[in-house]
Amino acid sequence: MAAPDSVLAPPAQAQPLLALLDRDHSILAFNERVLDWAYRTDVPLLERLRYLCIVSSNLDEFFEVRAESHLVAHQRQDDKGVYTVASFERLAQAAHTLVARQYALFNDDLIPTLEKKGIRIISHGDRPDAQRQWVKQYFHREVQPLLIPVGLDPSHPFPQVANKSLNFIVRLSGPDAFGRANEIAIVKVPRVLPRMIQMPAKVAGGPHSFVSLSSVIRAHLADLFPGRQVGQFSQFRVTRHSDLAVDEDDVKNLRKALRQGLQHRHFGQAVRLEVSAGCSDYLADFLLKQFELPRLALYRVPGPVNLVRLTQLVDLVRAPELCFPVYKPCHPTQLTPGMSFFDRLKQGDVLIHQPFESFGGVLDFLREAVHDPQVLAIKQTIYRTGSDAALMDLLREAVRSGKEVTVVVELKARFDEEANINWAEALESIGAQVLYGVVGLKTHAKMMLITRREGRQLKRYAHLSTGNYNPRTARLYTDWSHLTADSALTADIEHVFVHLASHSRLPRMNRLWLAPFHLHRKLIARINELGVAALAGTSTRIVAKMNALTDEALIHALIRAGQKGVSIDLIVRGACMLPAQVAGQTDNIRVRSVIGRFLEHSRVFYFRNGDEEALYLSSADWMNRNMMRRVELAWQVTDPLQRQRVVDESLVAYLQDDIDAWDMAPDGTYTRLKAQGRRRANGAQAALMARYGGVGGP
C-alpha cells in the first residue's frame, strides 16, 4: 500500500495533550450512521424498516450497559469525575434527538411508503366495523385470558415490571368492587404475545394488513375493568441496567452464580422510561416516581414504545422485491470440494472471508475431524454460538465417538450467558472437559485445535477467527477465518489452551500476541517503532480496521506516531475516541467508518516500515477491556499472497469506498462520502459480493 504524496513533518516541539472524544457520544453517533440506512431510498423498503429496528435494539443495549453510571452521578448530584450531572444531561439530550429522528422517519416516511406498497398497520380509529369485530374477537380469544390488571392499593403495591416489557398504566374513576377509590392500575403484557398481528385478507381487504398488539389492548382496556371508567392511560416500557456482574473472587461455582444472577437481570435499576406521546403529566410523573428516574430519562414516543418488535412485520410480509436480493455465499475459494482438509492444509494455509465465502467451510473442517478416526483430540473456545445447534452437535458427536473434547465456554458473554450455560451443561453431561477460562477475564479469543495421529507423530491443525462460532451471524458479519497446520502457530495455540485449563505460566510465544499479556504492549511497540522510522525519513504506514477504538494508551501512541510522520488510516465501525485531522495534532491520521449491508466485524492491523510489511488478524478491538480484561489473540499472516488478499479485500476496498463510508471531521462528526463527478461509485461490500459470485446489494 503506497504512502500518500505528502507526509507531515515532525513537530518542532512536543504538542499539548489532545482532548479525546467522548465514548458514549461516539456510540450514539455510530447509531446515527446506522439510521442513515433507514433513510436511504436506494435501500429496499423492508430493509429500511429493519435498520430502524436495529437502531432501537442498539439503543436498548446502550441504555442497559452504558447509562447507569451517568444516572447514578445525576442522582448524587456529582459534578466531579467522568460521570457527572452534566454528562448525564448531555447524553440524554443526544439520545432524545436520535429517538425523535427515528419516530419522525417511521411516521412521516416509512409508514406512508409501506402503505403505498399495500402494507398497512391499521390503527383503531381507521378500522371499519368488520375489522373492529375481528380485533375484538381476537382480543377476547387470544389476549385477555393472559392479562391480569393490578389495581394499586396498600395490599397491591406497584408490581415488578421486567426490563423492556410492554405495559399499560390506567387511571380509573368510580369506586372499585369494595367501594374504594383506588385509581391507578397496571396491565403487564406477556412477552409470548406477538406484537404485530396479521389480519385475514378477507377482513382486511388485502394480504398485508396488520394491527399492533398495543392498539388491540388499548381499544379494549375498558373490558379489563368492568364497572369502572377508564380515563387517562398510556403504554409504557422501562429499560433496566442489565450488565450482569458477579464477584468472581467470592464465588465457588461461577456457572451456578451466573445462573442465579440471570434470575434478577430483568429487574435491575431503571435507567429509561418510554411512554406514549400523549401520556398525561400525571401518569408520567407517577411512573417516574415509581422508578426513581429524573425527567430527562422520560421518552415520549409517537408510536410503539418498542420499535424492535417491528422486525416481526418484516418477517411476516412476503415481498422479496422489498428486501435485499438473497446472497448465497460461495464455497471457500481456497478449498477444493471433496479434498481432505488435512491434505489441503499440508499444502499451505487457507483464509475464508465471511460472509462472502461460506462459514460452512469451518463446520466442514470440524465435521471431518469428528469423523476421522485418526483425530484424537479437539479443543475449542465458545464465546457466542447462538441457538444454532450445528456446531454443538458436532462436538457432542465427537465426545460420543471417544475423542478427547475440551471446550472453553465463556459464561459471561453479554446477553448470551444463559445459552452458554446451557451448552456447557449439555457438553459436560456427556463427558466433555468444559472450562470457564480465567477468573476476572473473559475468553474472547476464537480458536479451535485438532490433534491427529499421522504415523508415529501427532500433527496439529487449527482454526483462528476474528468472529464467533455462530452460523447465523457468520452470514451477517464480515470476518476472517484462518485454517492452518503451521507448527509454530499451532504450538502457540496449544500453549494457550493449557494456560486456560491449568493457569500455568505461558512459555515464550512464537507467532501469537495474547492479551492480557503481550497484545497491548506489542501493538504500542510496533506503533512506536514506525514513529522512530518516520523521523529517520523512512516511508511508514499504519492501516487498522476494528469495531471500536477507545483505549487511551493506543490512541496516544497513534497520535505520537502521526506527529512523527507515520501515515495512518483507521477504519473504525463504531465508537472512536481519536479525533482525526485536528490541525497541528492529528493531521496525518484519517478515521472512517463503513456501515454496510453486513456488519463490519473483522479486525485487521497493517504496519509498513519501508519495504517491510506486517499484517495481523485479531479477535480484539482496541479497547481497554480487550487489552486488559479479556483473553484475546492477534496473529500474523506471513504468506505474502495471503497477506495481500487481506490487504486488498479488508483495507484497500474500504479506503476506496464512497457509498457506505463516513469520514470523521476534527470535531468528531462524520460525513458520508459521495462519488465525485461521473466516476462510478465504489461500495466495498457490494464489490466483494460481486467478486465472490453472489447477488449484490445497494
| Cβ pair 146, 192 in contact under 8 A | yes
CA 659 – CA 664 distance, rounded (Å):
15
Q: Report the C-alpha gap between 672 and 530 in whole angstroms.
A: 30
Do 447 and 461 form a contact (C-beta atoms < 8 A)?
no
3-state secondary structure of 232: strand
Residues 434, 440, 441, 442, CA torsion sign: positive
Cross-strand bridge partners of residue 593: 662
CA 178 to chain centre: 51
CB contact at 8 A, 674 and 682? no
CA atoms within 13 A on the CB side of 571: 26
Sign of CA dihedral 336, 339, 341, 342: negative
561: closest CA among 584, 535, 537?
A: 535
How many beta carbons lie within 10 A of that of residue 666, not counting itself? 13
Cα(675)–Cα(661) distance, integer angstroms? 11
The pair phi, psi for residue 382, each rounded to 5°, is: -125, 115
Q: Which residue out of 70, 241, 444, 499 is catalytically annotated?
A: 444
Sort strands 477-484 and 589-594 into parallel, antiparallel or unpaired: unpaired
- Give residues with Cβ within 8 angstroms of 224, minimum separation 6: 144, 147, 149, 187
Tell me the β-bridge partners of 695.
Answer: none
* Nearest one of 476, 444, 416 to 601, comparing CA atoms: 476
Residue with cell 519495504: 611
Assess whether 70 carries a catalytic annotation: no
What count of other Cβ atoms lies within 10 Å of the Cβ of residue 142?
14
CA quadruple 202, 208, 214, 217: dihedral, nearest 10? 0
CB atoms within 10 A of CB 424: 21
Which of 671-679's residues contact partners 24+ apart within 8 Å by CB, and which partners?
A: 672/33, 672/36
- Give me the residues paired with residue 482 across strands: 351, 464
Query: Catalytic site residues?
Result: 444
